[in-house]
């Protein structure tokens, strides 16, 4: 019984520490989000995967510990894990927004639990100084959906 209590106590302490550290970080995350809204006249939107910076592709490969293959918008990709077509990627790019040194890549990820992901990156002198991947519970399909979602800043699950 003492062992069970001590395990529960250690688990509780580790969870409180994790939630504390996550509560401190979102300030810079919220600032990154607001850049795309407040300075929207400088937003450049791309709808082709060739515009994803090479350094970002490399960072995503490191982050996922696998090859990062993504389909262009309106191209076929594996939406579910029911019918597996091995030569199709399981990600589909929606768009990439660039604002000076900050980027956001928005894409759908198929498979079990089809969802939308946002990748926020700041690249300065060919180096990534900020990197954050988020799951989004909202259904984002267009840039205006994204900007509206950023304004309300709701339903983010940080990975």
Question: Is position 11 within any domain?
Answer: no
pLDDT (average), residues 79-86:
69
pLDDT tens track for 47-69: 999 999 999 999 999 998 888 88
Number of domains into which the chain is organized: 1
Please write down the long-range contacts of 150-156, taking CB distance under 8 Å and 24 or more positions apart: 150/33, 150/34, 150/36, 150/37, 151/37, 153/30, 153/33
pLDDT at 152: 74
Question: Is position 46 within any domain?
Answer: yes
pLDDT at 12: 41
CB contact at 8 A, 94 and 118: no
8-state DSSP, 11: H
Question: Is position 98 within any domain?
Answer: yes
C-alpha to C-alpha distance for 66 and 63, rounded to whole angstroms: 8
pLDDT tens track for 127-157: 999 898 888 877 788 998 888 887 776 555 5
Tokens (6 digits) for 102? 């900050």
C-alpha to C-alpha distance for 84 and 78, rounded to whole angstroms: 7
Question: Is position 1 within any domain?
Answer: no
Question: Is position 8 within any domain?
Answer: no
Domain span at residue 142? 26-158
CB contact at 8 A, 132 and 29: yes
Question: Is position 20 within any domain?
Answer: no
Question: Is position 21 within any domain?
Answer: no
Tokens (6 digits) for 141? 């399909």
pLDDT tens track for 94-117: 999 999 899 999 998 887 777 888
8-state DSSP, 50: G
Question: Is position 3 within any domain?
Answer: no
């Amino acid at each position: 019984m003492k062992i069970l209590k001590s395990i529960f106590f250690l688990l509780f302490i580790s969870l409180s520490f994790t939630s504390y550290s996550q509560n401190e970080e979102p300030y810079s995350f919220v600032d990154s989000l607001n850049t795309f809204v407040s300075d929207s006249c400088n937003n450049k939107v791309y709808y082709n995967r060739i515009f994803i910076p090479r350094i970002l592709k490399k960072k995503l490969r490191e982050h996922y510990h696998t090859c990062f293959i993504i389909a262009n918008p309106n191209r076929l990709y594996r939406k579910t894990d029911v019918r597996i077509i091995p030569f199709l990627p399981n990600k589909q790019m929606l768009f990439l927004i660039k604002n000076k040194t900050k980027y956001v890549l928005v894409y759908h990820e198929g498979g079990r639990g089809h969802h939308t992901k946002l990748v926020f990156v700041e690249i300065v002198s060919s180096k990534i100084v900020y990197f954050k991947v988020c799951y989004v519970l909202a259904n984002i399909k267009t840039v205006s959906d994204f900007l509206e979602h950023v304004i309300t800043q709701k339903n983010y699950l940080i990975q």
